[in-house]
Amino acid sequence: MRVLLIDDHALVRKGIGELLQSRGAQVVASVSSGEEGVRRAVELLPDIILLDVKMPGVNGIETVERLRAAGVSAPVVMLTMSREDAELGAALRAGAQGYLLKDMEPEELLPALQAALRGESVVAREMVGTLADIVRDDAGARPAAPRPADPFAGLTPRELEILGLVADGSSNKMIARALSITDGTVKLHVKAILRKLGMRSRVEAAVAAAGHGLGKNRKKPGAVS
């Protein structure tokens, strides 16, 4: 995996670079500004770009827009301290494929980048509830269109119930407690849901479910596991 790092803090770039390289990834460049990041992305064609949100000059959201305008198609994953709803929404609408927090566990970073390379959307566990809200708000803002055949028609009532909790941002442990079942049973249900929907990730299912109106509890803290 060839990674381009864009972050205005040298210490952060050094730490993340060493972490990725210790796990077999290749950091092709580590730069401090959005402008330089766009230039190096066009020049080096990295497999994936890891990008801060809050940077002086051209910020992370603007950098994503410039990358896409320059024809860079590599997945962009934001890595930030910002938990602001507006920045998550702006990053994803600009073309980012992920939004991770800098206080995540170090061993979770490379698997998240690998998932993004497979085409999955990766969002910090703490932000999944916010993501569901954004999807609902976007869906409400769009003009009404003929509804397609129900993509969830093949799910059982229990699977629909669990998918609604996933859309709210609940973790497996939270769902198990809410429904008085075991974590293992929840995991089996989630696997069955993904298989039936033809989806690869829990986040993808949560987004689809939220857009379909499933899930009732807004701003509920939760996790994707």
136 — pLDDT class (breaks 50, 70, 90): low
Q: What pLDDT, on a 0 to 100 scale, did the predictor assign at position 60?
A: 94
The whole-number average pLDDT for the span 177-200 is 87
Who wins on pLDDT, 12 or 138? 12
Distances (CA, A) of 57 to 18, 29, 35, 62, 89: 26, 20, 9, 10, 20
Domains in the chain, CATH or no CATH each: 2-123 (3.40.50.2300), 134-211 (3.40.50.2300)
Q: Which residue has the higher pLDDT, 129 or 102?
A: 102
Percentage of the chain lying above the pLDDT 90 cut: 44
Q: Which of 21-25, 102-106, 212-216 has the highest mean pLDDT?
A: 21-25
H or E segment and range at residue 28: strand 26-31
Q: Is the pLDDT reported for residue 218 higher than 50? A: no
Helix, strand, coil abundance in the chain, percent, nearest 5? 50, 10, 35
Answer yes or no: are the C-beta atoms of 183 and 135 closer than 8 Å. no
> What does pLDDT average to over the chain?
83
The terminus-to-terminus CA distance of the chain in angstroms comes to 23
**Cα 44 from Cα 70, distance rounded (Å):** 13
For residue range 117-129, what is the model confidence (pLDDT) as tens digits? 887 778 887 777 6
Q: In the numeric block, which tokens belong to residue 219?
A: 């701003």
CA angle (143 as vertex; 152, 137 as ends), nearest 5: 65
